[in-house]
Amino acid sequence: MRLSRLFSPRIVAHAHCDLPCGVYDPAQARIEAESVKAIAEKYQANEDPEFRTRAILIKEQRAELVKHHLWVLWTDYFKPPHFEKYPQLHALFNEATKLAGAAGAKGKVDVKVAEDLLGKIDEIAKIFWETKQA
């Protein structure tokens, strides 16, 4: 991938609401998880106690958003035929949301944990886009 690609506009985006509007996108969870990772990096590089308190409280909110966006995909987008075709999907979502919670990104200020979380979200995104193409 050329570097310029990394910085090109990404103007096709997909969303969710529970009307449902029918627009979903794993990017919403990934965006917040990227933020969790960046916060962990900045936290490790900055020992100022005021900064660190802010980092922890903001990370808590971002990790909660990761959980929320993943729960929405799991309940609102994926349907029984998807769970039949991808029998690992329930566990994958359960592990990903646990990784965003107290035992993972909320409870730790750890870049590696945030990367694991991003990895789980990418596994989910891969399946998501396969089902969209089906």
Judged by CB under 8 A, the chain residues 62 through 91 that form the site for a second copy are 62, 64, 67, 71, 74-76, 78, 83, 90-91
Positions 100 through 119 that interact with a second copy (CB under 8 A): 101-102, 106-109
8 A C-beta contact, residue 83 and residue 121:
no
Letter for the amino acid at 77? Y
> Among 73, 97, 117, 120, which residue sits at the site for a second copy (rule: CB under 8 A)?
97
Question: How far apart are alpha carbons 127 and 42 in whole angstroms?
Answer: 32
Residue 116: CB minimum distance to a second copy, A:
15
Q: Are 70 and 121 in contact, with CB atoms under 8 Å apart?
A: yes
45 binds a second copy (CB under 8 A): no
The answer to whether the beta carbons of residues 16 and 77 sit under 8 Å apart is: yes
Q: What's the closest the beta carbon of residue 32 comes to a second copy, in angstroms?
A: 6
